[in-house]
């Protein structure tokens, strides 16, 4: 049995209140599976019978407003695991508990939302599930069989399960590419159609290169250096957009030992992640505007139509996860364009700062979201330490915290274990509090969860 995650919850008892909280959290997020009788370490601590689970589920549904749609299904796996599990699909409307609390699923736990977060989630949910809607005039014949087979091959590699003998139509229904009547959905057309832009012209991408730092041509005149319109199914859009961007990125070099190593203008993963995120999370309901990549002399901007989805804000974008288009996200995950669901922003920040760049800058409006990557690179080693690097002038730090900041300046990050190494006579809890204090003061940013947690210097986003 695995440990709790974004899509899996383990509850020790068939207790209706705890079950209802988790059902609401999954319904408001990307859905998930609830296993009863197991602790957070994945150890079975009780055998709960089908009748007890059914009674608890019935009571839990009554605690949700509106009632959450959930099903009791046989569990996958060996005989040592649970017999039944509770499956909760992603909901198209916002759910709460009877006491008014609104919860979402974040990594391995449920989180209660506050005022603005609730309003943002309600706005997103009220927009419906656009990617699941059928596309007028589209038919199964509009799918490219080669794209379907390519997807199956990639899926087989990732899941390590053979695709031989899989009924293609049934699979396409299961992943949301077709509805129950066999009609193509928005997600299906975007992933598998020969020409998605015939039906959804806003689903393409535009790359524009400007010679200076403003959206102008040479000498400040109107124009640009290069412009490319990129169309096709989403996998091809990502591939071609990356190829064009790579062609326009400058290449430098560093010497390590006796070898010369080429260095791209921007870290490869950071660019690809920003691009894939734009394709995955844009609001495909918005017509008249495509994803834009704008390359300037000093920065790269990737602009995605549609504001931040669900309860995501600029303050929680690193820690939280919400998919506006979960079927598209899952499809591109199986295709291999997403390494691990929900962790791309962390890695983007890590790669930029590790290469000496400023952190990515994020800008959100009601109708667009922009990621800006700076090509400025600074030397991080052997820099003089101020009392509080990157902190506002009025932020005071202790001598011990200053040592932690010195470590971050020299190594790019710090973990709790690193801090214990440089302060061996101080308790682990005190050191953890030190780092949390620096996060609250806006000096550090926390990345990751549990054992994978580390801290980096925070700059204004």
Q: Measured between alpha carbons, how far is 193 from 173 in angstroms, rounded to an integer?
A: 15
Tell me the fold of 128-378: Heat Shock Protein 90 (3.30.565)
Which pTM does this prediction carry? Answer: 0.70
Homologous superfamily of the 8-112 domain (CATH):
Schlafen, AAA domain (3.30.950.30)
Helix (H) or strand (E) holding 375: none
Q: Measured between alpha carbons, how far is 15 from 13 in angstroms, rounded to an integer?
A: 5
Mean pLDDT of 254-268: 71
Q: Measured between alpha carbons, how far is 116 from 101 in angstroms, rounded to an integer?
A: 13
- Token readout for 48 is 């709960």
Asked whether residue 334 carries a pLDDT value surpassing 70, the answer given is yes
Name the residue with higher pLDDT: 124 or 404.
Answer: 404
Secondary structure of residue 145 in the 3-state scheme: helix
Name the residue with higher pLDDT: 184 or 320.
Answer: 184
Residue length, the chain? 461
Q: Measured between alpha carbons, how far is 279 from 49 in angstroms, rounded to an integer?
A: 44
Q: Measured between alpha carbons, how far is 369 from 307 in angstroms, rounded to an integer?
A: 5
Mean pLDDT of 305-331: 86
Non-local (6+) Cβ contacts of 279 within 8 A are 205, 234, 237, 238, 291, 328, 332
Q: Measured between alpha carbons, how far is 188 from 133 in angstroms, rounded to an integer?
A: 10
In this structure, how many other beta carbons lie within 10 angstroms of the beta carbon of residue 75? Answer: 13
CB contact at 8 A, 203 and 196: yes
CB contact at 8 A, 54 and 24: no
Q: Measured between alpha carbons, how far is 441 from 391 in angstroms, rounded to an integer?
A: 8
Q: Are strands 361-365 and 299-305 parallel, antiparallel or unpaired?
A: unpaired
Non-local (6+) Cβ contacts of 291 within 8 A are 204, 205, 206, 278, 279, 282, 302, 303, 304, 305
- Token readout for 20 is 């209802």
CB contact at 8 A, 284 and 312: no
* Nearest partner of 447 among 311, 323, 350, 321, judged by Cα: 350
Non-local (6+) Cβ contacts of 254 within 8 A are 260, 261, 263
Question: According to the model, what pLDDT value does residue 379 have?
Answer: 47
Per-residue pLDDT tens over the stretch 344-375: 788 888 888 888 888 899 999 888 999 999 99
Q: How far is CA 207 from the centre of its chain?
A: 23
Q: Measured between alpha carbons, how far is 307 from 293 in angstroms, rounded to an integer?
A: 17
Domain 399-457 falls under CATH 2.60.120.10: no
Least-confidence region, from 33-42, 405-414, 448-457: 448-457
Question: According to the model, what pLDDT value does residue 321 have?
Answer: 78
Question: According to the model, what pLDDT value does residue 389 have?
Answer: 43
Question: According to the model, what pLDDT value does residue 237 have?
Answer: 97
Domain boundaries of the chain, sorted by first residue: 8-112, 128-378, 399-457
Per-residue pLDDT tens over the stretch 102-113: 999 987 899 999
Expressed in angstroms, the distance from the first to the final Cα of the chain is 39
pLDDT band at 157 (very low <50, low <70, confident <90, very high): confident
Mean pLDDT of 133-160: 92
Question: According to the model, what pLDDT value does residue 374 have?
Answer: 94
Beta strand spans in 269-428 (E):
291-295, 299-305, 361-365, 368-374
Q: Kindly tell me the burial class for residue 413, based on how many C-beta atoms sit within 10 Å of its own C-beta (0-12, 13-18, 19 or more).
A: middle
Q: Measured between alpha carbons, how far is 297 from 217 in angstroms, rounded to an integer?
A: 12
Helices (H) and strands (E) in the chain, counts: 14, 18
Least-confidence region, from 53-62, 77-86, 165-174, 314-323: 77-86
pLDDT band at 257 (very low <50, low <70, confident <90, very high): low
pLDDT band at 394 (very low <50, low <70, confident <90, very high): low
Give me the helix-helix angle, 16-28 and 50-62, nearest 10°: 60
């Amino acid at each position: 049995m695995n440990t709790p995650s974004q899509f899996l919850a383990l509850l020790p008892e068939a207790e209706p209140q705890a079950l209802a909280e988790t059902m609401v959290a999954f319904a408001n997020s990307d859905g998930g599976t609830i296993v009863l009788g197991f602790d957070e370490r994945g150890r079975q601590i009780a055998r709960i019978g089908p009748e007890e689970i059914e009674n608890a589920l019935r009571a839990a549904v009554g605690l949700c407003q509106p009632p959450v749609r959930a099903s009791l299904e046989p569990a996958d796996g060996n005989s040592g695991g649970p017999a039944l599990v509770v499956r909760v699909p992603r909901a198209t409307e916002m759910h709460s508990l009877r006491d008014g609390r609104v919860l979402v699923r974040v990594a391995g736990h449920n989180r209660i939302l506050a005022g603005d977060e609730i309003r943002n989630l309600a706005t997103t949910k009220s927009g419906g599930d656009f990617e699941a809607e059928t596309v007028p005039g589209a038919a199964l014949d509009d799918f490219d069989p080669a794209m379907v087979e390519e997807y199956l091959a990639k899926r087989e590699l990732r899941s390590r399960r053979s695709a031989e003998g899989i009924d293609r139509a049934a699979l396409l229904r299961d992943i949301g590419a077709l509805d129950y009547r066999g009609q193509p959905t928005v997600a299906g057309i975007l992933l598998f159609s020969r020409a998605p832009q015939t039906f959804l012209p806003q689903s393409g991408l535009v790359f524009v290169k400007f010679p200076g730092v403003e959206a102008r041509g040479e000498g400040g005149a109107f124009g640009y250096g290069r412009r490319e319109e990129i169309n096709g199914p989403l996998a091809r859009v990502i591939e071609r957009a990356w190829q064009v961007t790579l062609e326009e990125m400058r290449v430098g070099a560093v010497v390590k030992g006796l070898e010369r190593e080429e260095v791209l203008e921007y870290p490869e993963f950071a660019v690809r992640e920003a691009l894939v995120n734009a394709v995955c999370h844009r609001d495909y309901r918005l017509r008249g505007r495509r994803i834009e990549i704008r390359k300037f002399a000093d920065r790269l901007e990737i602009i995605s139509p549609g504001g931040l989805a669900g309860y995501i804000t600029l303050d929680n974008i690193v820690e939280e996860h919400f998919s506006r288009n979960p079927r598209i996200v899952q499809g591109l995950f199986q295709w291999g364009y997403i390494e691990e669901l929900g962790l791309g922003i962390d890695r983007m920040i890590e790669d930029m700062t590790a290469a000496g760049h400023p952190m990515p800058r994020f800008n959100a409006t009601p109708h667009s979201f922009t990621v800006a990557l700076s090509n400025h690179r600074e030397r991080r080693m052997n820099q003089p330490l101020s009392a509080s690097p990157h902190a506002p002038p009025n932020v005071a730090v202790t001598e011990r915290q200053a040592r932690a900041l010195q470590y971050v300046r020299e190594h790019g990050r710090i973990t709790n274990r690193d801090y214990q190494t440089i302060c061996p006579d101080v308790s682990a809890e005190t050191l953890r509090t030190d780092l949390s204090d620096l996060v609250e003061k806006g000096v550090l940013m926390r990345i990751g969860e549990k054992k994978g947690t580390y801290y980096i210097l925070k700059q204004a986003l």
